[in-house]
């Protein structure tokens, strides 16, 4: 199965700063990569699918890019509600697999 | 508004069984594939099982194959996960998730709040 590695494990930033999260795949997943946000005690929420498409209702400050094995989630200007854990997920090969997560915390 | 509400999570003994249920509303349940995804305490997400919209096709992670059975009742808008031969490493919050239209249920656009399964003697 495809292994996804996320970096960094923790990102310490202040509100208003730009956040850049990375996800590397052990083999090409083409553009079949999604990003989810999870806040403590809450269910995950789909942010981005197929590398760069925002899900319904997701603010424009969230953007995704990449293809093949290297992907990036960018939050252009962090809002207080954006401090959370972010997971990438591939759906190129069965079974779907997730990365281990990046925690974005308040500096 | 799409809503998914899981139930059935509790403490079970190793080797025991549990049945999880997910009640859904706010969308045409019979038209969408559904999945179960779990999260062990303090850990990441792991896809567990999926079922097609009609229920004709089911999919399982290797870690649960032969022990868990996914099913659905489209007349009741409910998704189920029968969990047998439980192991301590099955301890997790179990989420039901809706899948958007597609050939296979490999993307999850709405999630429930989860139900906690604890396997311990």
pLDDT at B103 over 80: no
DSSP 3-state of B90: helix
The per-residue pLDDT for range B12-41, each reduced to its tens digit, is 999 999 999 999 999 999 999 999 999 999
At B102 the pLDDT is 79
Please indicate whether, in this complex, the C-beta atoms of B111 and A44 are within 8 angstroms of each other: yes
The per-residue pLDDT for range A24-41, each reduced to its tens digit, is 999 999 999 999 999 998
DSSP 3-state of B50: strand
Residue B11 Cα, gap to closest chain A Cα (Å): 19
Q: With beta carbons less than 8 A apart as the criterion, state whether A68 and A51 touch.
A: no
Model confidence at B104, pLDDT cuts 50, 70, 90, reads: confident
Q: Which residues of A make CB contacts under 8 Å with B?
A: 34, 36, 42-46, 49, 55-56, 87, 89, 91, 94-101
Residues of A in contact with B112 (CB under 8 A): 43
Residue B76: count of CB within 10 angstroms of its CB: 12
pLDDT at B92 over 80: yes
The per-residue pLDDT for range B28-83, each reduced to its tens digit, is 999 999 999 999 999 999 999 999 999 999 999 999 999 999 999 999 999 999 99
Please indicate whether, in this complex, the C-beta atoms of B45 and A44 are within 8 angstroms of each other: yes
CA atoms within 13 A on the CB side of B39: 25
Residue A64: closest CA among A4, A23, A13:
A23
């Amino acid at each position: 199965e495809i292994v996804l590695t996320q970096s960094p494990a923790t990102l310490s930033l202040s509100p208003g700063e730009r956040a850049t999260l990375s996800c590397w795949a052990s083999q090409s997943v083409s553009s079949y990569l999604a990003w989810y946000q999870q806040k403590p005690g809450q269910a995950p929420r789909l942010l981005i699918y197929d590398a760069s498409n925002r899900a319904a209702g997701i603010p424009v400050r969230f953007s995704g890019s990449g293809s093949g094995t290297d992907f990036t989630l960018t939050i252009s200007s962090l809002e207080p509600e954006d401090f959370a854990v972010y997971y990438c997920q591939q759906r190129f090969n069965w079974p779907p697999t997730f990365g281990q997560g990046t925690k974005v915390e308040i500096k | 508004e799409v809503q998914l509400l899981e139930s059935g999570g509790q403490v079970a003994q190793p080797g025991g069984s549990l049945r999880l249920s997910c009640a859904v509303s706010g969308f045409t349940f019979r038209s969408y594939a559904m999945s179960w995804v779990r999260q062990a305490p303090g850990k990441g997400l792991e896809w567990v099982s999926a079922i097609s919209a009609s229920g004709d096709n089911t999919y399982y992670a290797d870690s649960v194959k032969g022990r868990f059975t996914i099913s659905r009742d489209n007349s009741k808008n409910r998704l189920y996960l029968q969990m047998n031969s439980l192991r301590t490493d099955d301890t997790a919050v179990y989420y039901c998730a809706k899948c958007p239209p597609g050939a296979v249920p490999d993307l999850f656009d709405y999630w429930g709040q989860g139900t906690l399964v604890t396997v311990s003697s």
